[in-house]
Structure 1
Amino acid sequence: MKKIIQGGLAAGIFAFIIALAAAVQPVNAASGGLTISPTSADVTVAPGGSYKGEMLVVNQGELDISYKVYTTPYSVDGEDYKPYFSPIPGATDITKWFTLGKKDGDIKVGNQNTVPFTIAVPKGTGAGSYYATIFVETEDKGSTGVVTRKRIGMIVYLRVSGNVIEKGSVAGWNVPWLQEAPFTASVKVANEGSVHYPARVKVVVSDLFGSQKFSYERNPQIIPQKVRDIPVVWENGASFGLFKVDGEVTYPGKTEQLPTKFVFIANLPMRLVTLGSIVAFIGLVVYLGRKRAVAHKK
């Protein structure tokens, strides 16, 4: 029995040393470049009406940039909302409704340009949701002569007013009870209506004493007749511990509290530490129990 206890403690100490060594992580610096603001716009226009907006283009890189601006359709596929920017057969192509104030431009390092645009919704357009993307694209011809194209886009969520249905629900709430860092969870939100809506998703991770350790809050757009899987990731968070996870989702007409979950976060070395500690503790309890039994018989 002593050998079992000693073996368990040794395994725990060895795994703890490995865990400390594995805790060191490299840090990578982010690179600058062309950015836009905003990255999305939620617009409501009546049939026959119009909307005027603008997009800011900023050069945060190290070289002057030439760019062009254009619009494409926008749609998504799957619960992860994989984006598509090509026309869909039978769907309305609203890129024809857009007029861009600037279709190209040059921008020096550290400067910014404004791209105005107008959306004119034709009369008789049915009520509901329509989508497009305004792209800013650059070209880079390297020393090899190969042309590299890069683009970033602003998604336009257009709601044409009229008789619409707003309806949503929570379609899933998943928090695996055993994880390695970083902590991850997912919330699935459904849209059973005829127009998109911004859901409010909030997730809070606390220790067992109620102290908040991590909070996530976003307002993702949910497209009609789609389910969106919204990932929640605690970057650079705790690498070991037992935590309580709470959440809530707001969709049209309701705020729904999600069931409380518990999660144990530990990488493999720390799991060995925990397992070794449990084995050592059980061994100690059994040993003391037998020792008392022998003493009682005497």
Structure 2
Amino acid sequence: MVRLGKLRAKTIRYTLLLLSLAAIVSLNFVAAEMVDENIGKISITPLRNEIAIQPGSTYQDKIKVTNGSGSNIRITMSVEEFGVLNEQYDYIFEEDADLANWVNFSDSNIELKPGQFKEIDYRIGVPISAEPGGRYVSLFASSDIIENGAITTRQRVGSLLYITVQGDVTRDGRLLSLSSPWLVLDNSDWSVNIQNTGTTHFRSEYSVSVRDIFDNQINYSSNDKLILPSTIRLVAGKFSLPIWPGIYKIVYAVSLGDKPSYKNTIYFIYLPFWSWGLSGLIVVYRVLIKKRKMIKKL
């Protein structure tokens, strides 16, 4: 009886400990949710802009910054040059770049109340000595959420500017590789690697058309991606699968800036898993029919 009482006491203590831990986790989760209400509430538009400017000239435009949180936000505007790290186009930003001196804001420090927005003018001045080609900067809005006089959260959103300094520029696109399946079960992934050896960016438009062997179009999709100079970009997707098993073809078309578009037709066999089961049933059925015929002959 004594051992049983001790066991019950230990069980009660462990239960209370677990309940306490659960309460702490629950409180932390609620607190995190309360903080998250103020995170991600600042927005900026447009998210990107493509601009062409002559050397020695200026360009003026505006961006809109909105406070979607429930607190006052102090916003600081800044400029950073950007590029990409890899073929997946993960961005990298550089502070204190000389290119940032090209951009000036009408107001670099503002304060927004909950739900308030403001349009901020900016001006890009291109030096007369600037060489033709692509330049890439991001206009950042950095926010401090102010509650009871204290800064509680810091956030940053950006608007990307794709600037072409006009002149003798090139958009030299090349398709380095195309990956497309010849046997499709349920995976319809495809990908291309596009290189730009030119001096400024271009927008590569691509399309994927799935057709039967009689050239009847079954599915079609298209999109476009920006390709920065001196980079290689991986573009990947999935094509829509046909309804029935069989032999089909995919027609790929990819624009490459100033170069002729790339076009290629690749055939593939579509054998979904359910067709395997159907084929198995047909084989079993034929075997049974043959056996019945043999039995009747006997």
Give the whole-Å Cα distance in 1 for the aligned partners of 2:121 and 2:102: 14
Provide the rounded CA distance (Å) in 1 between the counterparts of 2:43 and 2:213. Answer: 41
C-alpha contact (below 8 Å) 1:61/1:110 kept by paired residues: yes
SS of 2:94's partner is: coil
Q: Distance in 1 between matches of 2:121 and 2:90?
A: 28
| TM-superposed deviation, 1:84 | 0.3
- Secondary structure at the aligned position of 2:88 is classed as coil
Per-residue deviation, 1:60: 4.4
Which residues in structure 2 correspond to 1:55-204 (within 5 Å)? Answer: 55-61=63-69, 63-86=71-94, 93-140=98-145, 147-176=152-181, 177-178=183-184, 180=186, 184-204=189-209
1:228-268, CA deviations, whole angstroms, 9 ceiling, x for partnerless residues? 1123357xx879866864432122242333424547596xx
Q: How many Å apart are 1:150 and its aligned residue? A: 2.2
Unaligned runs of 5+ in 2: 1-38
CA deviations over 1:136-170 (Å, ceiling 9, x no partner): 12234799x89543222111111112222221122
| Cα distance, 1:282 vs structure 2 | 2.2
Could you tell me the TM-score, scaled by structure 1's length? 0.69
1:74 partner amino acid: F
Any stretches of 5+ residues in structure 1 without a counterpart?
1-30
**Cα distance, 1:94 vs. partner?**
0.5
Per-residue CA distance 1:41-62 (angstroms, 9 max, x = gap): 2112222222112112234455
Q: Is the 8 A contact 1:197 1:222 kept in 2?
A: yes
Residue by residue over 1:69-94, the C-alpha shift from the partner in whole angstroms, topping out at 9 and shown as x without a partner, is 11111010211111100259xxx631
Q: 1:108 to 1:87 in 2, by over 3 A?
A: closer
Preserved contact between residue 80 and residue 139 of structure 2 (Cα < 8 Å): yes
| Corresponding position of 2:18 | none
1:39 aligned to which of 47, 60, 64? 47
**Separation in structure 1 between the aligned mates of residue 77 and residue 106 of structure 2, nearest angstrom:** 10
Once residues 206 and 159 of structure 1 are traced to their aligned partners in structure 2, the CA distance between those partners, rounded to angstroms, is 39
Larger RCO (CA within 8 A; separation ≥ 6): 1
Q: CA RMSD in A?
A: 3.7
- Assess if the C-alpha contact under 8 Å between 1:180 and 1:239 holds in 2: no
Query: Judging changes above 3 Å, is the alpha-carbon distance between structure 1 residues 173 and 60 closer, same or farther for their aligned structure 2 residues?
Result: farther
8 Å CA contact 2:73, 2:145 repeated in 1: no
- Whether 1:232 aligns to 2:237 is yes
Give the total of aligned pairs. Answer: 254
**How high is the TM-score relative to the length of structure 2?**
0.69
Partners of 2:98 and 2:186 in 1: how far apart? 45
Seen in structure 2, the aligned counterparts of structure 1 residues 107 and 173 have a Cα distance that, compared at 3 Å, is farther
Amino acid at match of 2:252: G
| Partners of 2:90 and 2:195 in 1: CA distance | 16
Task: Give the Cα separation in 1 of the matches to 2:139 and 2:212.
Answer: 43
Structure 2: distance between partners of 1:64 and 1:213:
49
